[in-house]
Amino acid sequence: MKDNTLGKLGGNCSVLLGISYLVIGVTYLLLPAEQKQTSAVDVFLPSFAQNSTVQTIQFWVFALSGLLGIAVVPAVSESVRPVNEGWVRWTSNLAVLGFAVVAINNFRNIAFQPGLAAAYMEGDAVTKAAIEVGGPFGLDPQNWLGFGAVGLWVLVVSLLAQRTGVWPRLQTNLGIAAAVAYWLVVIGSVFNLEALFTIAAALGGIILAPVWYIMTGLRLRQASL
| Reported pTM | 0.95
**Spatial distance between the Cα atoms of 210 and 100, rounded to a whole number of angstroms:** 19
Chain centroid to CA 79: 22
Give counts: helices (H), strands (E), the chain.
Answer: 9, 0
Q: What is the pLDDT of residues 27-52, one digit of tens each?
A: 999 999 999 887 788 999 999 999 99
Is 225's pLDDT higher than 80? no
**Spatial distance between the Cα atoms of 216 and 131, rounded to a whole number of angstroms:** 42
Q: What is the pLDDT of residues 117-168, one digit of tens each?
A: 999 999 999 999 888 877 656 889 899 999 999 999 999 999 999 999 999 9
Contacts by residues 171-175 (CB-CB < 8 Å, ≥ 24 positions apart): 171/212, 171/215, 171/216, 171/219, 174/208, 174/211, 174/212, 174/215, 175/212, 175/216
Cβ neighbours of residue 206 under 8 Å, at least 6 residues apart? 22, 25, 26, 29
Is 3's pLDDT higher than 80? no
**Spatial distance between the Cα atoms of 99 and 81, rounded to a whole number of angstroms:** 20
Q: What is the mean pLDDT of residues 184-205?
A: 92
**3-state DSSP: the chain helix, strand, coil percent, rounded to 5?**
85, 0, 15
Query: What total of structural domains would you count in the chain?
Result: 1
Domain encompassing residue 74: 5-223
In this structure, is the dihedral angle defined by the CA atoms of residues 140, 144, 147 and 153, taken in order, positive or negative? negative
Whole-number percent of the chain with pLDDT over 70 = 97
Is 1's pLDDT higher than 60? no
